[in-house]
Protein backbone atom coordinates (compact mmCIF):
# COMPACT_ATOMS: atom_id res chain seq x y z
CA UNK A 1 0.00 0.00 0.00
CA UNK A 2 1.47 3.35 -0.97
CA UNK A 3 2.14 6.09 1.56
CA UNK A 4 -0.60 8.16 -0.01
CA UNK A 5 -3.19 5.41 0.29
CA UNK A 6 -2.28 4.71 3.95
CA UNK A 7 -2.75 8.35 4.75
CA UNK A 8 -6.02 8.39 2.82
CA UNK A 9 -7.23 5.33 4.73
CA UNK A 10 -6.35 6.95 8.04
CA UNK A 11 -8.14 10.10 7.02
CA UNK A 12 -11.26 8.18 6.01
CA UNK A 13 -11.16 6.09 9.21
CA UNK A 14 -10.77 9.26 11.23
CA UNK A 15 -13.71 10.82 9.42
CA UNK A 16 -15.92 7.76 9.96
CA UNK A 17 -15.01 7.54 13.63
CA UNK A 18 -15.55 11.25 13.92
CA UNK A 19 -19.05 10.90 12.52
CA UNK A 20 -19.81 8.05 14.92
CA UNK A 21 -18.45 10.03 17.85
CA UNK A 22 -20.50 13.05 16.86
CA UNK A 23 -23.64 10.95 16.56
CA UNK A 24 -23.11 9.22 19.90
CA UNK A 25 -21.45 12.01 21.85
CA UNK A 26 -23.98 13.56 24.15
CA UNK A 27 -25.16 13.70 27.66
CA UNK A 28 -27.58 11.82 29.85
CA UNK A 29 -29.44 13.19 32.84
CA UNK A 30 -28.90 11.69 36.27
CA UNK A 31 -30.24 12.60 39.71
CA UNK A 32 -27.97 14.16 42.30
CA UNK A 33 -28.90 14.83 45.93
CA UNK A 34 -27.71 18.20 47.22
CA UNK A 35 -26.50 18.38 50.82
CA UNK A 36 -23.46 19.64 52.71
CA UNK A 37 -21.21 17.62 50.40
CA UNK A 38 -21.97 19.89 47.43
CA UNK A 39 -23.88 23.02 48.59
CA UNK A 40 -23.76 25.53 51.44
CA UNK A 41 -26.41 27.10 53.65
CA UNK A 42 -26.36 30.33 55.66
CA UNK A 43 -28.79 32.31 57.77
CA UNK A 44 -30.20 35.07 55.56
CA UNK A 45 -30.25 38.80 56.32
CA UNK A 46 -34.06 38.92 56.34
CA UNK A 47 -34.30 36.64 59.36
CA UNK A 48 -36.61 38.26 61.91
CA UNK A 49 -35.38 39.24 65.37
CA UNK A 50 -35.38 36.11 67.49
CA UNK A 51 -33.39 33.43 69.19
CA UNK A 52 -31.59 30.31 68.01
CA UNK A 53 -32.59 28.16 70.94
CA UNK A 54 -30.34 25.22 70.19
CA UNK A 55 -27.53 26.46 67.97
CA UNK A 56 -25.18 26.80 70.95
CA UNK A 57 -25.58 23.14 71.92
CA UNK A 58 -25.02 21.01 68.89
CA UNK A 59 -23.26 22.53 65.93
CA UNK A 60 -24.14 25.07 63.32
CA UNK A 61 -26.78 25.87 60.72
CA UNK A 62 -25.20 23.08 58.65
CA UNK A 63 -27.61 20.83 60.56
CA UNK A 64 -30.14 21.94 57.91
CA UNK A 65 -28.32 20.09 55.11
CA UNK A 66 -26.68 17.16 56.90
CA UNK A 67 -29.11 14.45 55.76
CA UNK A 68 -27.02 11.99 53.71
CA UNK A 69 -29.84 11.19 51.26
CA UNK A 70 -33.38 12.19 50.36
CA UNK A 71 -34.82 9.14 52.12
CA UNK A 72 -32.65 9.37 55.24
CA UNK A 73 -34.29 9.03 58.64
CA UNK A 74 -33.36 11.49 61.39
CA UNK A 75 -34.14 11.46 65.09
CA UNK A 76 -34.94 14.67 66.91
CA UNK A 77 -32.13 15.81 69.19
CA UNK A 78 -29.91 18.83 69.71
CA UNK A 79 -27.35 17.72 67.14
CA UNK A 80 -29.85 17.12 64.31
CA UNK A 81 -32.49 19.86 64.33
CA UNK A 82 -32.83 23.63 64.10
CA UNK A 83 -34.99 25.49 66.62
CA UNK A 84 -35.56 29.19 66.06
CA UNK A 85 -38.00 31.36 68.03
CA UNK A 86 -39.09 34.68 66.52
CA UNK A 87 -39.70 37.60 68.86
CA UNK A 88 -42.97 38.55 67.18
CA UNK A 89 -45.87 36.79 65.42
CA UNK A 90 -45.18 36.40 61.70
CA UNK A 91 -41.45 36.45 62.25
CA UNK A 92 -39.35 33.73 60.71
CA UNK A 93 -36.02 32.27 59.75
CA UNK A 94 -34.44 32.96 56.36
CA UNK A 95 -32.02 30.44 54.88
CA UNK A 96 -29.92 30.96 51.76
CA UNK A 97 -28.65 27.90 49.88
CA UNK A 98 -25.77 28.44 47.44
CA UNK A 99 -25.21 25.71 44.86
CA UNK A 100 -21.96 26.95 43.26
CA UNK A 101 -23.16 25.69 39.87
CA UNK A 102 -26.48 25.55 38.01
CA UNK A 103 -28.92 22.72 38.73
CA UNK A 104 -32.38 21.82 37.47
CA UNK A 105 -34.28 21.03 40.66
CA UNK A 106 -36.91 18.31 40.45
CA UNK A 107 -37.88 17.71 44.09
CA UNK A 108 -37.76 19.53 47.42
CA UNK A 109 -37.39 17.44 50.57
CA UNK A 110 -38.48 18.74 53.97
CA UNK A 111 -38.12 17.05 57.36
CA UNK A 112 -40.57 18.83 59.69
CA UNK A 113 -40.86 18.60 63.46
CA UNK A 114 -43.53 16.24 64.79
CA UNK A 115 -45.72 18.53 66.94
CA UNK A 116 -47.95 21.42 65.88
CA UNK A 117 -46.81 23.76 68.65
CA UNK A 118 -43.26 23.96 67.29
CA UNK A 119 -43.27 22.72 63.67
CA UNK A 120 -42.83 24.81 60.52
CA UNK A 121 -46.22 25.83 59.07
CA UNK A 122 -45.21 27.75 55.95
CA UNK A 123 -42.12 28.05 53.74
CA UNK A 124 -41.74 30.64 51.00
CA UNK A 125 -39.09 29.50 48.50
CA UNK A 126 -37.45 31.74 45.92
CA UNK A 127 -35.21 30.29 43.20
CA UNK A 128 -32.52 32.40 41.50
CA UNK A 129 -30.21 31.92 38.52
CA UNK A 130 -26.50 32.70 38.27
CA UNK A 131 -27.27 36.40 37.75
CA UNK A 132 -29.31 36.53 40.94
CA UNK A 133 -32.55 36.92 38.98
CA UNK A 134 -35.61 35.15 40.38
CA UNK A 135 -36.66 32.22 38.16
CA UNK A 136 -39.43 30.79 40.35
CA UNK A 137 -41.26 30.91 43.68
CA UNK A 138 -43.16 28.37 45.72
CA UNK A 139 -45.08 28.56 49.00
CA UNK A 140 -45.77 25.31 50.83
CA UNK A 141 -47.51 24.32 54.04
CA UNK A 142 -45.51 21.23 54.99
CA UNK A 143 -46.92 18.18 56.74
CA UNK A 144 -45.99 17.35 60.31
CA UNK A 145 -42.95 15.14 60.54
CA UNK A 146 -43.31 11.38 61.01
CA UNK A 147 -42.60 9.96 64.48
CA UNK A 148 -40.42 8.77 66.07
CA UNK A 149 -38.06 8.55 63.09
CA UNK A 150 -38.50 11.65 60.90
CA UNK A 151 -38.49 11.14 57.14
CA UNK A 152 -38.77 13.76 54.42
CA UNK A 153 -41.91 14.99 52.74
CA UNK A 154 -41.14 15.07 49.01
CA UNK A 155 -42.46 18.05 47.03
CA UNK A 156 -42.12 17.69 43.23
CA UNK A 157 -41.24 20.83 41.29
CA UNK A 158 -42.41 21.44 37.76
CA UNK A 159 -40.04 24.07 36.51
CA UNK A 160 -37.06 25.57 38.34
CA UNK A 161 -34.25 25.31 35.79
CA UNK A 162 -30.68 26.58 35.93
CA UNK A 163 -30.97 27.37 39.63
CA UNK A 164 -27.85 28.71 41.33
CA UNK A 165 -29.30 29.66 44.74
CA UNK A 166 -32.46 29.18 46.79
CA UNK A 167 -33.86 31.37 49.55
CA UNK A 168 -36.34 29.91 52.05
CA UNK A 169 -38.34 31.85 54.67
CA UNK A 170 -39.78 29.57 57.35
CA UNK A 171 -42.52 30.52 59.80
CA UNK A 172 -44.63 28.70 62.37
CA UNK A 173 -47.38 29.18 64.90
CA UNK A 174 -46.31 30.36 68.37
CA UNK A 175 -43.37 32.03 66.55
CA UNK A 176 -41.66 28.61 66.56
CA UNK A 177 -39.60 27.23 63.65
CA UNK A 178 -38.43 23.70 64.44
CA UNK A 179 -37.38 21.21 61.77
CA UNK A 180 -34.67 18.74 60.83
CA UNK A 181 -33.54 19.28 57.22
CA UNK A 182 -34.13 20.76 53.81
CA UNK A 183 -32.77 18.92 50.76
CA UNK A 184 -32.96 19.10 46.99
CA UNK A 185 -32.92 16.50 44.26
CA UNK A 186 -31.55 17.96 41.04
CA UNK A 187 -30.54 16.63 37.66
CA UNK A 188 -27.10 17.03 36.18
CA UNK A 189 -25.79 16.21 32.71
CA UNK A 190 -23.01 13.63 32.42
CA UNK A 191 -21.36 12.27 29.24
CA UNK A 192 -22.94 9.16 27.78
CA UNK A 193 -21.00 5.93 28.45
CA UNK A 194 -18.58 5.24 25.59
CA UNK A 195 -18.25 8.83 24.49
CA UNK A 196 -14.78 9.17 26.01
CA UNK A 197 -13.50 6.02 24.20
CA UNK A 198 -14.76 7.13 20.79
CA UNK A 199 -13.43 10.63 21.23
CA UNK A 200 -10.07 9.14 22.23
CA UNK A 201 -9.94 6.99 19.10
CA UNK A 202 -10.81 9.96 16.91
CA UNK A 203 -8.08 12.00 18.55
CA UNK A 204 -5.43 9.31 17.90
CA UNK A 205 -6.45 8.93 14.25
CA UNK A 206 -6.42 12.68 13.85
CA UNK A 207 -2.82 12.79 15.10
CA UNK A 208 -1.75 9.99 12.77
CA UNK A 209 -3.46 11.74 9.84
CA UNK A 210 -1.60 14.99 10.51
CA UNK A 211 1.75 13.19 10.76
CA UNK A 212 1.28 11.95 7.19
CA UNK A 213 1.09 15.43 5.72
CA1 LIG B 1 -30.44 17.69 60.39
CA1 LIG C 1 -47.32 24.85 64.03
Q: Let me know whether 185 and 201 are in one domain.
A: no
Any alpha helices (H) in the chain, and if so which ranges?
3-24, 195-212
Q: Are residues 126 and 180 in the same domain?
A: yes
Distance 180 CA to ligand 1 centre (A): 4
Domain match, 50 and 152 both: yes
Compute, in angstroms, the gap from residue 111 CA to the centroid of ligand 1. Answer: 8
Ligand nearest to the CA of 62: 1
Q: Note whether 145 and 202 are same-domain residues.
A: no
| Residues in Cβ contact with 197 at an 8 Å cutoff, skipping those fewer than 6 apart | none
What does the pLDDT look like over 60-118, one tens digit per residue? 899 999 999 999 999 999 889 999 999 999 999 999 999 999 999 999 999 999 999 99
- According to the model, what pLDDT value does residue 157 have? 93
Pick the closest to residue 6 from 24, 149, 14 (CA basis). Answer: 14
Domain that holds residue 208: 3-26+193-212
| Closest among 113, 105, 109 to 137, alpha carbons compared | 105
Task: Quote the DSSP letter at residue 38.
Answer: T
**Residue 142 and residue 38 share a domain:** yes
Q: Measure Cα distances from 10 to 17, 145, 196, 204, 213 in Å.
A: 10, 65, 20, 10, 12
Same domain, 9 and 107: no
**Measured in angstroms, how far is the CA atom of residue 140 from the centroid of ligand 2?**
13
What pLDDT is stored for residue 166 in this prediction?
98
Backbone angles phi, psi at 156, to 5 degrees: -65, 145
Centroid of ligand 1 to alpha carbon of 53 (angstroms) = 15
- Could you give the number of structural domains in the chain? 2
Say whether both 137 and 174 belong to one domain: yes
pTM (2 d.p.): 0.78
Same domain, 20 and 97: no
Based on the fold, state whether residues 140 and 150 are members of the same structural domain: yes
* Ligand 2 geometric centre to CA of 141 (Å): 10
Helix, strand, coil percent content, the chain, rounded in steps of 5:
25, 40, 35
The answer to whether residues 158 and 139 touch, using CB atoms and an 8 Å cutoff, is no
Does 79 lie in the same domain as 10? no
* Residue 146 and residue 111 share a domain: yes
Looking at the structure, tell me whether residues 120 and 17 fall in a common domain.
Answer: no
Return the ligand number nearest the Cα of 63.
1
- For residue 62, report the distance from its CA to the centre of ligand 1, in Å: 8
Task: Give yes or no for a contact between 184 and 107, defined as CB atoms under 8 angstroms apart.
Answer: yes
Count CB atoms within 10 A of the CB of residue 48.
19
CA of 4 to the centre of ligand 2 (A): 81
pLDDT of residue 97: 98
pLDDT at 191: 87
Say which ligand is closest to the CA of 116.
2
Residue ranges in the chain modelled with pLDDT below 70: 1-25, 56-59, 195-213
Amino acid sequence: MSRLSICSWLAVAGLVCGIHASALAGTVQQDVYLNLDNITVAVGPNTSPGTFNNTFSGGTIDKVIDAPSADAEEFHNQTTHIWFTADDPGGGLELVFEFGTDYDITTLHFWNYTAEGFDVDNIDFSFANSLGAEVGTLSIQPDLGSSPGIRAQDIPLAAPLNVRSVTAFLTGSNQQVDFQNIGFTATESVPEPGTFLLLGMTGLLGLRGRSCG
